[in-house]
Amino acid sequence: MFTKGTYGLLRYGSRVYVSDIDDLRREILKEAHVAAYVKVEHQRPIGLLQPLFVSDWKWEHIFMDFVTGLPRKSKGYDFIWVIVDRLTKSAHFLLVKTTYGAAQYARLYIDEIVRLDGVPITIEIVQETADKIQLIRDKMLVAQSHQKSYADHRHRELEFEVGDHMFLRVSSTKGIMRFGKKGKLSPRYIGPFETLERFGVVAYRLALSSNLTNVHPVFHVLVLWKYQPDPSHVIKHESLQLGDDMSYKEVLVAILDRQVKKLRSKEIASVKVQWRDHTREEVTWEVKDHM
């Protein structure tokens, strides 16, 4: 019995029906195996390591966070304000209240941080501290250089221009803890999208389509692939619903078979799963407890 499937395909049972035209069949197979959306990349990853900035002096650059959800003390303190120096990694842990405003935090910072880690007392202390800071900074720069050389060894440098059109790499997830080999024709890229702006050395902002409003538009070059314009290309934009982690969820359609694999001390039940928008040849065996 012939039925109309997804994307307007004519199906006979579980198979896609194609007219008995050799040229048409060859064109379909060629498109399915060389299309950019499913092409597997065999080159070194793009993007060299960008080391973090190393401060010249202690307590010049800090980061902070709050420890919340603590039981309220008798004096009303229920938060811990954590302030860490990025260079020396020394930290202060200050008791605060949820009712504090910006002025109270500023006064507390001056009283506790500037008072202890502010202007040195004597010239001798300044010189001694400066020598130690320089030694720490030099060692951090050497460590960064070594790490960068290791990371860059398996990566290649590649730059794009504003106005270039890019494919965006995505990954499929079947909503389970573990699954078998992904379908061969699952889309690996979507797009192309125009490059609007460059951030730093290895990040670009893309003009995403309206159905991707939940995705942040700035991407690392590792997930980008430049589209080479060709007037003969007719590109169909699929309406994939991407998550914040750039993955799309594949939906279970039917369970076709079941089996139980017997081991020495236990039995593992598996099910044969048909996924939406995949053929019968792309079914997978999944562990039942992970579904």
List the chain residues with pLDDT less than 70: 6-7, 32-41, 118-130, 171-187, 230-249, 277-282, 291
- For residue 87, what pLDDT is reported? 81
Do 281 and 261 contact (CB within 8 A), yes or no? no
- For residue 181, what pLDDT is reported? 39
Q: How many other C-beta atoms lie within 10 A of the C-beta of residue 84?
A: 16
Do 246 and 234 contact (CB within 8 A), yes or no? no
136 contacts: CB under 8 Å, gap ≥ 6: 87, 88
The separation between the first and the last C-alpha atoms of the chain, rounded to the nearest angstrom, is 32
- For residue 173, what pLDDT is reported? 53
Structure tokens, 159: 């730059």
Question: CA–CA distance from 122 to each of 35, 118, 126, 143, 271 (Å)?
Answer: 70, 12, 6, 32, 75
89 phi-psi bin (left φ>0, alpha ψ -120 to 50, beta other): left
Question: CA–CA distance from 143 to each of 52, 139, 140, 147, 178 (Å)?
Answer: 11, 6, 5, 6, 37
Considering just the CA atoms, what is the radius of gyration of the chain in Å?
28
- For residue 248, what pLDDT is reported? 58
Residue indicated by tokens 């395909």: 9
This prediction has a pTM of 0.42
Strands (DSSP E) contained in the chain are 2-4, 10-12, 15-16, 62-67, 79-85, 91-96, 165-169, 171-173, 189-199, 203-206, 218-220, 224-226, 247-249, 252-262, 267-275, 284-287
